[in-house]
Structure formats: C-alpha cells, structure tokens
Amino acid sequence: MSEKMAFKGRWVLVTGASAGLGEAMARQLAQQGAHLILVARRLERLQSLQAELQQKHGVQCRVIAADLARPDDVERVFLEGIQQPVYGVILNAGVTHFGWHRDLEWTAFENLLATNLTSVVRLVTLFVPYLIEQRQHGGILLVSSMAGLFPVPYQSAYAGTKAFVAQFGQSLYQELRGQPVSITTFCPGGIATEMTTGSKLDYFSDTPLLQSAEDCARDALRAFAQRKYLPVPGLLNRLQVFGARLLPRKWLGMIAERAYRKALQ
C-alpha cells in the first residue's frame, strides 16, 4: 500500500508508553495532532503523560495500565483499545537481560518471552483483522532491534525474541500486500533509555552507539508513516548493517562478544 499514513486526528495505540522510546513517540504523535491510547504498567506515569499531552497539544488520550507478560492484560488492551477507532498500533514494549544467559532465572525468561514475543503476536493477530475491517488504511509498527539481525552475546534471549519479531514482521508485510493495513518492522540500535541508564549497558552511553530516544522516535514515526519494510535508524547503524553483509556471521558474533564483555566487567 503506497498511501502515506497521516496521524492527525487519528487514534494511535502505543505500548511501553511510560518511558523511553514509547514515551518519545507518544509525545511526537501528540505534536502531530494524534489522539493516543497509552499502554504501560505504571499507571501514575501514564496519567501524568496523559494530562500533559492533553493540556499542551489539545489531543485526546486514554490510558490502559497493563502488564503485557500477562495474557489477560493483553486481551484487555485490545478490547479497551478498540473502544476508540484505532488507526495505528505501535508495539514497542520490551524488556531485556544483559549478562550471562545461565544467570537468567526461568521466571524472568518467561516474562521476557511473554512481553517481547507472545504479546506482540497476540496483539497483531487481534489488530490485523480489526484494521482491515475498519478500512482506515492504518498500520502496525513492530519495534524489533538490530539485536534481532545479528548475534548478540550476553543478550541471547533478548536477541532471540527480537529476531522472531523481525522475521514475523517481514513475513506479514508480504502476506498483507494489497490489504488496507501495513506492517513496518523497525530495528533500532542502542537507545539511551531506562533500559540502559543505570545498568551495565550504560557503558556505551558516551559512545555514538546509543541514539537518543527523541531522534529514534522521529525516525520510527517517519518510517511508520511511509510504511517502510525494515527500517534501521541512524547512519552508523545502517553502515553496520551494510558492513555485516561482508563478514561471516561467526565473526560478527565474536566482535559483539568482545564489545559486550567489556561492559560486563
């Protein structure tokens, strides 16, 4: 579908909206005049953002406090979300584990898997038929990661879930060609958010490897509006993707392992 998306006056649902990339995208959508359905676990953060965006930009905002690791909450997000005529869906919520995989407790892995992967598949499964039926020519933005394109030692489980999302989104893009809905799979590199600040990943904070949440959000929304296939934001990230085509994947893993091992120490 070639028609560009326009968010002004339309309802857009954003998961992981209480901080980081999700919050940045919500703010920029409000600046464009979009009405928002803000989804995250922290109700107070959502309500504060809701009040700010409504007052500052004159848009409507609804909040849904939900833990996307819980199947019942995932179903509720859909049912409460479609009380408004949803035009766009941004599935951004995610968690990570940085460290030895052997140190990842099984319950924490199940939470990571449910949040990053299962909830995404379920919400896509629910929203695609809905958006087709609405015939607003809307779309879904899946936030994957460059970690889903390359091997990432010490973030093995996270990288695995993001690889699934990347392949899932690319495949659906082709399946849905000709339908009044689009799938964009966004693959950012490192972003300066709560996920990195105060963690061992903060090791990369003074390097060009971390993009600001605001810049990344701008790239994400531009790609979403243009219905891009597999956009990677940032010149340095795109150069890495291009350069990676010239190297064996085993070498890519070795390079990443050396870089991330330094952050662990």
pLDDT tens figures, 239-256: 766 666 766 666 566 666
- CATH class of the structural domain 11-264: alpha beta
Nearest to 168 by CA among 232, 110, 126, 120: 120
* Higher-pLDDT residue of 184, 245: 184
Residue with tokens 């849905």: 176
Q: Check 154, 158, 173, 203 and give the catalytic one.
A: 158
* Higher-pLDDT residue of 145, 190: 145
pLDDT at site 185: 98
Tokens, residue 183: 């799938």
* Higher-pLDDT residue of 212, 131: 131
179: left (phi over 0), alpha (psi -120 to 50) or beta: beta
User: Stretch 99-126: mean pLDDT, rounded?
Assistant: 97
Nearest to 31 by CA among 11, 15, 66, 7: 7
What is the number of H-type helices and E-type strands within the chain? 9, 8
pLDDT at site 244: 63
The secondary structure of residue 44, as a DSSP letter, is H
Catalytic, 200? Answer: no
pLDDT at site 24: 97
Non-local (6+) Cβ contacts of 64 within 8 A are 37, 38, 39, 46, 76, 77, 80, 81
* Higher-pLDDT residue of 148, 218: 218
Chain centroid to CA 131? 19
Which contiguous run of DSSP H or E holds residue 243?
helix 235-244
pLDDT tens for residues 10-63?
999 999 999 999 999 999 999 999 999 999 999 999 999 999 999 999 999 999
User: Stretch 93-111: mean pLDDT, rounded?
Assistant: 95
pLDDT at site 54: 97
pLDDT tens for residues 117-166?
999 999 999 999 999 999 999 999 999 998 888 888 999 999 999 999 99
Catalytic, 173? Answer: no
Question: From CA 146, how far away is CA 159, in angstroms rounded?
Answer: 8
pLDDT tens for residues 219-240?
999 999 999 999 999 777 777 6
Cβ neighbours around 129 below 10 Å, total: 10
Predicted confidence band at 203 (pLDDT cuts at 50, 70, 90)? very low
Q: Is pLDDT at 201 greater than 60 in this prediction?
A: no
The secondary structure of residue 4, as a DSSP letter, is P
Nearest to 163 by CA among 154, 151, 174: 151
Tokens, residue 161: 């879930």
For the chain, which residues make up each domain, given as ranges? 11-264
> pTM value?
0.88
Question: Is the Cβ–Cβ distance between 162 and 116 less than 8 Å?
Answer: yes
Q: Check 87, 154, 162, 228 and give the catalytic one.
A: 162
- The alpha carbon dihedral of 91, 93, 98, 103 has a sign of negative
* Higher-pLDDT residue of 211, 131: 131
Q: Label residue 191 exposed, middle or buried (CB < 10 Å: 0-12, 13-18, 19+).
A: buried
Non-local (6+) Cβ contacts of 106 within 8 A are none
Question: From CA 128, how far away is CA 135, in angstroms rounded?
Answer: 11
Nearest to 204 by CA among 239, 155, 161: 155
Nearest to 87 by CA among 156, 6, 189, 186: 6
